[in-house]
Amino acid sequence: MDNRRRQFFVSAGGQRSLLAGVFILILVLVVVVSGLFYILANRDLEKATYRAHFETLRNTMQMLLPWLVLVNAIGLIVVLILAIFFTHKIAGPAYHLQQDLKKIKEGDLTIRTAFRKGDGLKDVAEAMNDTTGQLRLDIANIKDKVDDLSKVTG
């Protein structure tokens, strides 16, 4: 079974909605922290200075603002990239489980689910593999009993 990643977004709905939620949360956090930083720094600078130096300090705040925006933008991009890779550890295995469950539903009990190193949901895959294995045994036992009944009823 080939377990290489073939597409960037594995599960269109699940991964994108999880990613959007994480991104919005981080965006709100960045905006709130940046706003608080700017307000508090501006207030503290105003209190700590004399009127003669106020214009210089205001220019300093105006100089800091673009850097603050740039650093936050870079942080957002880095977090977004990391979030995509982290969601792959769940979304990819969930997608494979879904595909394997469809095959099981169609009657293929030979399916063995295997994930890449570092993927999540391995315990779910193991439970699913155990379940399909037990189903194979149960079906084999039922077939044996049907054969025995066929021989008896002749």
Domain-embedded: residue 24: yes
The pTM of this model reads 0.54
Residues 1-28 pLDDT 10s = 566 656 666 655 667 777 777 788 888 8
Count structural domains, the chain: 1
> In the prediction, which pLDDT does 68 show?
81
- For CA atoms 36, 37, 42, 45, give the dihedral sign: positive
Domain-embedded: residue 97: yes
Q: Is 149 helix (H, G, I), strand (E, B) or coil?
A: helix
Given a contact cutoff of 8 angstroms between Cβ atoms, the answer to whether 38 and 8 are in contact is no
Domain-embedded: residue 32: yes
Quote the domain boundaries for residue 93: 12-153
Helix residue ranges, H only, 49-121: 51-105
For the chain, the maximum distance between any two Cα atoms, rounded to a whole number of angstroms, is 111
> In the prediction, which pLDDT does 49 show?
55
> In the prediction, which pLDDT does 69 show?
82
Alpha-carbon distance of 29 to 36, in angstroms, equals 11
> In the prediction, which pLDDT does 45 show?
60
If phi > 0 it is left, if psi is from -120 to 50 it is alpha, else beta; for residue 117 that is: beta
Mean pLDDT calculated for residue range 51-77:
75
Q: State in Å, rounded, how far the first CA of the chain is from the last one.
A: 44
Domain-embedded: residue 4: no
Residues 143-152 pLDDT 10s = 999 998 988 8
Highest mean pLDDT among 80-84, 119-123, 135-139: 135-139
- Local confidence band at 31 (pLDDT 50, 70, 90 cut-offs): confident
Highest mean pLDDT among 74-78, 106-110, 115-119: 106-110
